[in-house]
Chains A and B, each alone.
Chain A
């Protein structure tokens, strides 16, 4: 049973009615805001760095010696050189994805019996950047970077491929792998705009 509680609107006193006190309070608030500094950034000229957890364009981590143990189990079945994408074509990302058709993953068997991933395409036009594929990846390969400027002039260019994903992953790890994983970052622009955030 839902209990309803009715709250009476507080009645205005005579003084408040006569001299429009609430009205003046509102005007005071807007005046305070008027003389405050603006909190905007001039976007194309000033760009904020997003937090590390930001869900931007996807990337592949490469085989560089920092793999999780699950990768070393699978590694002996795979044909992956150092510096190449560590994708093992397990299709977990596609399974987790709400729009599975945006993935196109293909792998072949080499004559020596090893598995080689020849294709990993994602059509980002269909992607909703939920990050479920990142959570599903068993070998910590698929990640999301802080790149958010994804507009392109042709539709084909919105499809990302395995090689440029590994390039992007290398670049992202070089820039931000060491950074502690926090929601807010100590960004100079962010401090300039909103001040130091204590609890981060």
Chain B
């Protein structure tokens, strides 16, 4: 009985998370389009609903009802698998992200996270990397030049930034003494307890790695519109195409921003000024700020070459993250 109720609660919670993430991702597209528009001094979506508020729904209907073309010579299995491979792991990272402490409503204890495992951060890293396989598979399976180049570029970039990302996350983990995201948040007490004050180097490396992982502009070599037609997703159409930007640009960026917020900005911690929901509000506010920062960088910078990215990753970011580990270790040893 205990088992069944746990399963039911978990299923309901997962559904809420997945549906919520879908809706959030749809509206993140609107935010991105509005932001990109205003950066270029144009208003963005304006006519569907008040200031384009219904635009994501119209887009979703459009992309779902579009004809789903599969070219003749593609590797069918990988071609179908790739879009799911990009999308499912990206949304699965949500399973380990805690949105707040357990709260009591009408006598029930509600945990605003699906699971709190002691290797949460490693799981998130692993799913993030599997999500990239989708891009590489898509490039390979399309049996076409541009997607192939896009996929290979992503593979080249992946090797560089994943190492730096993994090492950069070691700093906060050492300070918190745990891999569990919830315990990392609980280790950060107060405004000056946030790890951003102690780990600025790790933060910079992680910013770099998140930009590279989600394929946002300074490192968007895999879909460089000006060089490769649309990169790895050139041969895709319909919802199979729609899943790629959704997974990479929106869900991926959102979830990795959440992880960055948990690691460096104290997660849901904040003054209790919004009543019972103040942890959620603080968490989403921080994630939103982080997301907007990524958008801002995306719509500002031009694109690096692949060799430049690997150079930065191996020659700058990896030494920085190692240096960070070294300094953190010494400080922890000295302070005891």
Residue A42 at the chain B interface, CB threshold 8 Å: yes
Please state if B301 and A34 are interface contacts (CB–CB under 8 Å). Answer: no
Q: Which residues of B contact A33 (CB under 8 A)?
A: 38-41
Cβ–Cβ contact B41 & A27, under 8 A? no
User: Do B300 and A38 touch (CB < 8 A)?
Assistant: no
Interface presence of A6 (CB below 8 A): no
Given contacts A23-B301, A26-B301, A42-B46, contact A31 B296 (CB under 8 A): yes
Taking the complex as formed, is A12 at the interface, i.e. its CB lies under 8 A from any CB of chain B?
no
Q: Which of B42, B296, B300, B301 contacts A40 (CB 8 A)?
A: B42
1-42 of chain A: CB within 8 A of chain B: 23, 26-27, 29-31, 33-34, 36-40, 42
Q: Are B300 and A34 in contact (CB under 8 A)?
A: no
Q: Does B22 contact A (CB under 8 A)?
A: no
- Interface bits B120-134 vs A (CB < 8 Å: 1, else 0): 000000000000000
B295 to chain A, nearest CB (A): 10
Whether B296 lies near A37 (C-beta < 8 A) is: no
Mostly helix, strand, loop or mixed at chain B's interface?
A: loop
Q: Are B42 and A27 in contact (CB under 8 A)?
A: no
Chain A residues with CB under 8 A of B38: 33-34, 38
Which chain B positions have C-beta within 8 A of A23?
301
B42 with A30: CB separation less than 8 A: no
Q: Answer yes or no: B299 CB below 8 A from chain A CBs.
A: yes
Query: When the two chains form their complex, are residues B41 and A39 in contact, meaning their CB atoms are under 8 A apart?
Result: yes
Tell me if B43 counts as interface (CB < 8 A to partner A): yes
The interface residues of chain A lying within 8 Å CB-to-CB of B19 are: none
- Tell me the total A-B contact number using a CB cutoff of 8 A: 32
* Complex Cα spacing A39 to B41, Å: 6
Q: Which residues in A have their C-beta under 8 angstroms from that of B297?
A: 27
List, sorted by A's number, 26 A–B pairs whose CB atoms are closer than 8 Å.
A23-B301, A26-B300, A27-B296, A27-B297, A27-B300, A30-B39, A30-B296, A30-B299, A31-B296, A33-B38, A33-B39, A33-B40, A34-B35, A34-B38, A36-B41, A38-B37, A38-B38, A38-B41, A38-B42, A38-B43, A39-B41, A39-B42, A40-B41, A40-B42, A40-B43, A42-B46
Residues of A within 8 A of B40 (CB): 33
Are B300 and A30 touching (Cβ within 8 A)? Answer: yes
CB 8 Å contact bits of A48-85 with B (1 = contact, 0 = none):
00000000000000000000000000000000000000
Q: Give B311 Cβ to nearest chain A Cβ, in Å.
A: 14
Alpha-carbon gap, A39 to B38, bound state (A) = 10
- Chain A residues lying within 8 Å of B35, measured Cβ to Cβ, are 34
Residue of A nearest to B46 (CB): A42
- Give the residues in chain B near A26, CB-CB below 8 Å: 300-301
* Chain A interface mostly: helix
List residues of B (286-304) whose CB comes within 8 Å of A's CBs.
Answer: 296-297, 299-301
How many whole Å from A30's CB to the nearest CB in chain B?
Answer: 4
What is the CA–CA distance of A27 and B299 in the complex, to the nearest angstrom? 9
Shortest distance from the beta carbon of A195 to any chain B beta carbon, whole Å: 14
Query: Distance (Å) between the CB of A133 and the closest chain B CB?
Result: 36
| Interface flags, B19-47, vs A, CB<8A=1, else 0 | 00000000000000001011111110010
Residues of A with C-beta under 8 A to B43: 38, 40
Contact partners of A29 in chain B: CB under 8 A: 300
A24 smallest CB distance to B (angstroms): 10
- How far is A36 from B43 in the complex, measured between Cα atoms in Å? 11
How far is B39's CA from A39's CA once the two chains are assembled, in angstroms? 11
- Encode contact with B along A110-139: 1 for CB under 8 Å, 0 otherwise: 000000000000000000000000000000
Within the assembled complex, what's the spacing in Å between the Cα atoms of A27 and B46? 25
9 pairs of A and B residues whose beta carbons are closest in the complex: A30-B300, A26-B300, A40-B42, A38-B43, A30-B39, A39-B41, A34-B38, A34-B39, A38-B41
Which residues from chain A contact B299 at a C-beta distance below 8 Å? 30
CA–CA, A26 and B37, complex, Å:
17
Q: What residues on B are CB-neighbors of A36 within 8 Å?
A: 41
Q: Hey, which chain A residues are within 8 Å of B296, CB to CB?
A: 27, 30-31
A31: chain B residues at CB < 8 Å are 296
- B288 → chain A closest CB, angstroms: 16
* B299 (CB) vs chain A CBs: closest residue: A30
